[in-house]
Amino acid sequence: MPNDNQLKDIIKQEFLKCAADPAYFMNKYCSIQHPTRGKIPFVLYEYQKDTLHQLRDNDYNVVLKARQLGISTLSAGYALWMMTFHSDKNILVVATKQDTAKNLVTKVRFMHSNLPTWLRNACTEDNKLSLKYSNGSQIKAVSSSEDAGRSEALSLLILDEAAFIDKIDIIWGAAQQTLATGGQCIAISTPNGIGNWYHNTWIKAEAKENKFNPIKLHWTLHPERTQEWRDEQDTLLGPSMAEQECDCDFLSSGTSVVDAKILQWYKDEQCCDPIEKRYVDSNLWIWEQPDYDKDYIVTADVARGDGEDYSAFHIIEVQNVKQVAEYKGQIPPKDFGNLCMNLATEYNNALLIIENNSIGWAAIQAVIDREYDNLFYTSKDLKYVDVERQLTNRHRGEEKRLVPGFTTTMRTRPLVVAKIEEFVRSKECKISSGRLVDELFTFVYNNHKAEAMRGYNDDLVMAFGIGLWVRDTALRLKAEGIELNKRTLEGFNSNQAIYTNDDSNDTGTWDWSVGKEKESLTWLLDNKKR
């Protein structure tokens, strides 16, 4: 048996080994709570040891992981190591929910309570969400909020399931200031779609374009996982979810309205640099100059004016559903209306569609004041489309049943979203803008509602969707090659001539209402009869 001096020397050497190497410390002295086996030693796999060494040697780490690799537990052990062997360390855990963040602190508490006495620091504060040592080091758990990490000097920030944290862009922006004095960050997650903060951070880390060290942990790193296990995950989770949770596949992950793989195809095959950038902010991008043999629509979404969103418009060539120009910027609504009209005039007196939300009226009024004669009007009940106005570049503002602009409501928004999904999924539209595709990556279903992820915008998306809906609805006949012009309409009372898809018509045919009479115009759809 070693005497007291020898024992002290052994403890000293062990202490120094643990202080130098978190993997040695955890592998030899830490225990974890197994869901079925209870307390067991935390025996590390080689990939876990390597991960710990990277966490120690790099200030900023982004971890892309497969499910059930024990990485959250590993990060808890790393936090315990930092608190045990360093004084006055301030560690913050941020997760999607408070219970998730609390769970990591619970793992730290369990490991701490099972350390040998000579390694275990005295606690001066111990509750469900925090743990503080007598050496001044502490760990605290919070759920995601804009104030998370603000006004605290952090030694270590752990972002658990970072791809799922709301407002993480704001959280990271605030935390950067608190980490500036030498703090560390660990962002851990499985994939959750394309274009969000976590995905962008990972992509830039791989390209060495930021200060994050990328750590990818594929399911094959686990020595007990076989191909048979992986095949079972397809059955248990579904192929797409299994690719996300096991293969670390960003394209299969998330809840984007449009399949991310299709969006990536657009990004790779169609998106390109504009031939010209215009306007004072250079945010007006042009891919094609106007062709005077073609028809165009200009479709616009006006910013709310709260500084968090953008005014945006697209110019779409009608016949081929091709995006030829785009604007996204923050300018006053009146100036935006004038810009829309100027471009609509340039592109062959294009049909100008402006969403008439509260602030959108300021942009619309600028267009009306300048007497632009091809402004889109919507019926108040949205049961019909005035084909004479929309196809012959005419409008009659005095008609009380019509309002200028496009009205987005609980009824029309799903129709617009459906058009986006339909056209993009089938690749029936030409998208030139990488900005638009990036917004589509973060345009997701949230509680069954299609909207931008928290902290992102969908201004380009909604403007594009409105344009697709109008093109495919109000301009459907023209898109099918039927020229319905003023000569066609001669003999009819223009004030009563409304081309409508009437819900009461059992045949679903398109009728022309003339007073109390209706005449079927389905013959127009047959080119042979024209």
- pLDDT for residue 147: 57
DSSP type of residue 68: T
Could you tell me the pTM of the whole model? 0.64
Mean pLDDT check: name the lowest of 33-47, 115-129, 143-157, 251-265: 143-157
Answer yes or no: is pLDDT of 220 > 50.
yes
Q: What is the mean pLDDT of the chain?
A: 82
Answer yes or no: is pLDDT of 313 > 60.
yes
Residue listed under structure tokens 């799903």: 414
- pLDDT for residue 184: 92
Three-state secondary structure call for residue 209? coil
Contact 123, 132 (CB under 8 A): yes
Q: Could you report the per-residue pLDDT of 75-106, keeping only the tens digit for each?
A: 999 999 999 999 999 999 998 888 888 889 99
Question: Using 50, 70 and 90 to split pLDDT, how confident is the model at 485?
Answer: very low
Question: Using 50, 70 and 90 to split pLDDT, how confident is the model at 186?
Answer: very high
Question: Using 50, 70 and 90 to split pLDDT, how confident is the model at 306?
Answer: low
- Give the DSSP per-residue string, 240-271: HHHHHHTT--STT-S-BSS-HHHHHHHHHHT-
Answer yes or no: is pLDDT of 140 > 50.
yes
The pair of structure tokens assigned to 366 is 């600028």
Among candidate residues 140, 126, 22, the one with its CA nearest the CA of residue 89: 140
The dihedral through the CA atoms of 173, 175, 176, 178 has a sign that is positive
Domain ranges of the chain: 45-245, 260-479, 498-529
> Residue 518: enclosing H or E segment and its boundaries?
strand 517-520
Q: Cβ atoms within 10 A of the Cβ of 434, count?
A: 15
- pLDDT for residue 158: 93
Mean pLDDT, to the nearest integer, of 396-411? 70
- pLDDT for residue 401: 60
Q: Could you report the per-residue pLDDT of 436-475, keeping only the tens digit for each?
A: 999 998 888 877 788 887 778 899 999 999 999 988 876 5
Indicate the pairing of strand 90-95 with strand 138-143: parallel
- pLDDT for residue 194: 79
- pLDDT for residue 241: 82
Contact 152, 94 (CB under 8 A): no
- pLDDT for residue 487: 29
Phi, then psi, of 380 in degrees rounded to 5: -65, -30
The residue type at 394: R
Does domain 260-479 correspond to CATH entry 3.30.420.240?
yes
The pair of structure tokens assigned to 319 is 């016949």
- pLDDT for residue 498: 32
- pLDDT for residue 380: 61
Does domain 45-245 correspond to CATH entry 3.20.20.140?
no
Mean pLDDT check: name the lowest of 133-137, 159-163, 220-224, 379-383: 379-383
Q: How far is CA 229 from the centre of its chain?
A: 31
Rg (Cα) of the chain, in Å, rounded? 30
The pair of structure tokens assigned to 243 is 């690719």
